[in-house]
């Protein structure tokens, strides 16, 4: 019995998110079906977490146990030959029997991408939230600093979040400008449902002057529903999970 | 009568290139039809040049003459409201009556994007040529320097090129690495058909060690057909045209 860890990159545009579900095609289902064909046996993937419909990943981690032992390159190359163009295995490694992609995750890096342009930008439409406005990046950076640390983030989740506890640790938030793009890089121990998207939406509202720069401090003491809008999914990418 | 200059950005994935043609939908046709609806009169666009099927543009320039005088913002916003998501006007400006987008162009900047990754990268598939190999960037940079200057580029065009003369000036070629991406930025006075893609394909073959680093010097004395393969269209973007 081998425990194989996969790192997956996918364009989430055409998927109903990572997790299998009755309505719509999930990335998990496509990868599991590919593995089923490769190994001739059904496989269940354990992922580092879920991603929502339309969210992308550069480094989603998932593991599976199998008795069909192949050379490691065969998991990667063989599976890639069976996956559609918008999903690809980047790495396949043999890990300890007790490795668990969700329970063992120590942190995650999400990137939210904004495109700031006076008109819509077709070449950035697929992987960013297009804002036809100027943002006060200094105000956003100051507000982002207030999110860093151990806090109760219940104001920064959305309905449907099943987490029992709402305290999480944000290690860092970095705002990086690259021509007309502005990246919000968030690293943390774990995330509530839509947390990065609600954080990004709130920071954007601060950048637009719709909320005061010190609003994050107030929100960290509030209930769900007080924060900014949930930023749209196509701007979000799960960049890396570390163990 | 006004002469209006447009700067257009488009994702060329779903188009048969810039120029109107019997087989397939061209970007020119879509923009002209949008202008026709906006102005209630048929319009012919004069572009800075053509782009091939599947090639993108961040800054295609085109002008048109019209007797329907609108506020400049109306050309931009009104036309964007009539264009599909993969085409958008970035700028609309009033120019002198004798401005001609092709004849007056003094130079163009094209970017060819390579994605170097051991496996295919879904998030880079739309806008790069994916090469599952390492490239000798130093050899490519040395070879690129041989392309700079005034040369007869007949070896670097493809069949169907209607240009009568094949001497052009390349102002600069810069190779820029950005994580797994490698950009080939080419600036020049004008370009033969597929010239940037043949240059890029040749530089890649040099980077792979399939051609000697001094092969460009030899090719500049050769006829058409001796250079490297034409790099695929989705890696190419017309970045800017200047006047």
Locate the chain A residue with the closest alpha carbon to B79: A119
Answer yes or no: do B200 and B233 share one domain. Answer: yes
* Residue numbers in A near B89 (CB within 8 A): 119
Tell me, yes or no, whether A137 and A182 share the same domain: yes
DSSP line for chain A: -EEEEEEEEE-GGGSS-SS--SSS--HHHHHHHHHHHHHTS----EES----TT-EEEEEEEEEEES----HHIIIIIHHHHS-TTEEEEEEEEE-TT--TTTT--EEEEEEEEEE-SS--GGGSSSSEEE-S---HHHHHHHHHHH-EEEE-GGG--TT---S--EEEEEEEEEEEETTEEEEEEEES---TTHHHHHHHHHHHHHTTSS-TTHHHHHTTSPTT-S-----GGGEEEEEEE-
Q: Please tell me whether residues A164 and A62 are part of one structural domain.
A: no
| Higher per-residue pLDDT: B224 or B25 | B25
Same domain, B77 and B112: no
Task: Identify the pLDDT of residue B146.
Answer: 97
Across the interface, whether the CB atoms of B86 and A120 are under 8 A apart is answered: no
Last residue of a domain, one of A95, A130, A147: A95
Whether the CB-CB separation of A10 and A86 falls below 8 Å is answered with yes
Please, are residues A43 and A20 in contact by the beta-carbon 8 Å criterion? no
Q: Are both A163 and A66 inside the same structural domain?
A: no
C-alpha closest to that of B198 among B153, B168, B240: B153
Alpha-carbon span B129 to B108, nearest angstrom: 21
pLDDT value at position B23?
Answer: 85
Q: Are A113 and A128 in contact (CB under 8 A)?
A: yes
| Residue A87: predicted pLDDT | 98
Residue B100 lies in a domain: no
- The per-residue pLDDT for A204 is 98
Burial annotation A21-57 (CB, 10 A radius, 16+ → b, else e): eeeeebbbbbbbebbeebbeeebebbbbbbbbbbbbb
Q: One of A52, A104, A146, A215 is an active-site residue; which one?
A: A52
Give the number of A-B residue pairs with CB atoms closer than 8 Å: 61
pLDDT at A241: 98
Using the beta-carbon criterion (under 8 Å), do A126 and B121 form an inter-chain contact?
no
User: pLDDT at residue A160 above 90?
Assistant: no
Nearest to B58 by CA among B107, B100, B11: B11
What pLDDT, in 10s, does the model give residues B111-120?
999 999 989 9
Share of chain A above pLDDT 70, in %: 100
Tokens 């973007």 map to which residue?
A: B237
Kindly identify which residue of chain A lies nearest to residue B57, measuring between CA atoms: A123
Domain presence at residue B101: no
**In terms of domains, do B62 and B150 share one?**
no
Nearest CA to A101 out of A34, A185, A18, A166 is that of A18
Flag the least confident range among A154-158, A197-201, B106-110, B210-214.
A154-158
Residue A56 lies in a domain: yes
For residue B237, give how far its alpha carbon lies from the nearest alpha carbon of chain A (Å): 10
Distance from CA of A124 to the nearest CA of B (A): 9
- Map tokens 């990137």 to a residue: A111
- What pLDDT does residue A164 have? 86
Residues 6+ apart with CB under 8 A from B140: B175, B203, B204, B206, B207
- The answer, for A104 touching chain B at a CB cutoff of 8 Å, is no
Chain B, 49 to 88: residues with Cβ < 8 Å from chain A are 56, 58, 76-77, 80, 85-88
The reply to whether A236 and A118 lie within a common domain is: yes
* B160 interfaces chain A, CB cutoff of 8 Å: no
CA distance B196 to A105: 45
pLDDT of residue B152: 94
B-facing residues of A in 3-22 (CB < 8 A) are 9-11
List all residues 6 or more positions away from B215 whose beta carbon is below 8 Å from its beta carbon.
B143, B202, B206
A216's tokens: 């994050």
Where in the sequence numbering do the catalytic residues of B fall? 52
**Binding site for substrate: which residues of B?**
110
B125 and A86 within 8 Å at the Cβ level: the answer is yes
Q: What is the pLDDT of residues B67-83, one digit of tens each?
A: 999 999 999 999 999 99
Block residue for tokens 């010239």: B195
Q: What is the pLDDT of residues A102-127, one digit of tens each?
A: 999 999 999 999 999 989 999 999 99
Same domain, A142 and A67: no
Q: Are residues B139 and B220 in the same domain?
A: yes
d(CA A140, CA A137): 5
Give me chain B's average pLDDT, please: 95
- Which uninterrupted H or E stretch holds B195? helix B195-207
The pLDDT assigned to B22 comes to: 87
Please check whether residues A124 and A60 belong to one and the same domain.
no
- Of A95, A117, A144, the position where a domain reaches its end is A95
User: Considering only alpha carbons, which residue of chain B is nearest residue A120?
Assistant: B88
| End residue of a domain, out of A95, A126, A144 | A95
Residue B41 lies in a domain: yes
Within a domain: residue B137?
Answer: yes
Q: Is the same domain home to A87 and A171?
A: no
User: What's the structural domain count of chain B?
Assistant: 2
Residue reference for tokens 């080939």: B184
- The CA distance from B13 to the nearest CA of chain A, in Å, is 10
Q: Are B51 and B57 in contact (CB under 8 A)?
A: yes
Q: Residues of chain A with pLDDT > 90: what percent?
A: 87
pLDDT in tens, A5-24: 999 999 999 999 999 988 89
Instruction: Please check the confidence at residue A90 and state whether its pLDDT lies above 90.
Output: yes
Query: How many Å apart are CA A226 and CA A1, to the nearest integer?
Result: 48
For every residue of A15-55, which 3-state class applies, written as one string? CCCCCCCCCCCCHHHHHHHHHHHHHCCCCCCEECCCCCCCC
**Is the minimum CB–CB distance between B183 and chain A shorter than 8 Å?**
no
Question: Which stretches within B17-71 are classed as H helix?
Answer: 27-39
Q: Establish how many alpha carbons lie within 13 A of residue B65's alpha carbon, considering only the half-sphere containing its beta carbon.
A: 6
Model confidence at B162, pLDDT cuts 50, 70, 90, reads confident
Q: Which of residues 202-241 of B touch A (CB under 8 A)?
A: 237
Interface contact A120, partner B, CB < 8 A: yes
- Position B58 confidence tier, pLDDT thresholds 50, 70, 90: very high
Position A102 in a domain: no
Mark yes or no for CB contact A88/B56 under 8 Å: no
Please tell me which residue, B164 or A230, carries the higher pLDDT value. Answer: A230
Residue B225 lies in a domain: yes
Cα first-last separation, chain B: 22
**Residue B34: CATH number of its domain:** 3.30.70.580
Tell which of A115, A122, A126 to mutate to test the B interface (max B CBs under 10 Å). A122
Nearest to B56 among A56, A85, A123 (CB): A123
In this model, does residue B158 exceed pLDDT 90? Answer: no
CA distance B178 to chain A (A): 12
What confidence tier does A82 reach under pLDDT thresholds 50, 70, 90? Answer: very high
Q: Are residues A76 and A114 in the same domain?
A: no
* Range(s) of the domain holding residue A59: 2-95
Residue A79 lies in a domain: yes
Q: Are B226 and B219 within 8 A, CB to CB?
A: yes
């Amino acid at each position: 019995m081998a425990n194989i860890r996969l790192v997956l990159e996918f364009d989430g545009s055409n998927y109903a998110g990572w997790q299998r579900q009755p309505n719509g095609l999930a990335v998990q289902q496509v990868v599991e079906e590919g593995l089923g064909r490769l190994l001739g046996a059904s496989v269940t993937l354990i992922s580092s977490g879920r991603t929502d419909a339309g969210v992308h990943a550069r480094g989603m981690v998932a593991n599976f146990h199998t008795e069909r032992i192949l050379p490691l390159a065969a998991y990667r190359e063989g599976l890639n030959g069976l996956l559609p163009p918008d999903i690809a295995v980047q790495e396949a490694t043999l890990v300890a029997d007790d490795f668990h992609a969700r329970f063992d995750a120590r942190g995650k890096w999400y990137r939210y991408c904004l495109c700031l342009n006076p008109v819509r930008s077709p070449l950035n439409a697929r992987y960013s939230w297009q804002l036809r406005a100027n943002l006060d990046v200094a105000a956003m950076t100051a507000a982002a600093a207030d999110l860093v640390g151990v806090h109760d983030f219940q104001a920064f989740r959305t309905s449907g979040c099943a987490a029992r506890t709402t305290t999480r640790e944000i290690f860092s938030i970095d705002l990086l400008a690259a021509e007309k793009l502005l990246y919000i890089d968030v690293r943390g121990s774990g995330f509530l449902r839509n947390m990065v998207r609600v954080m990004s939406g709130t920071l954007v509202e601060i950048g637009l002057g719709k909320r005061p720069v010190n609003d994050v401090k107030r929100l960290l003491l509030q209930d769900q529903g007080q924060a900014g809008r949930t930023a749209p999914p196509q701007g979000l990418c799960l960049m890396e999970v570390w163990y």
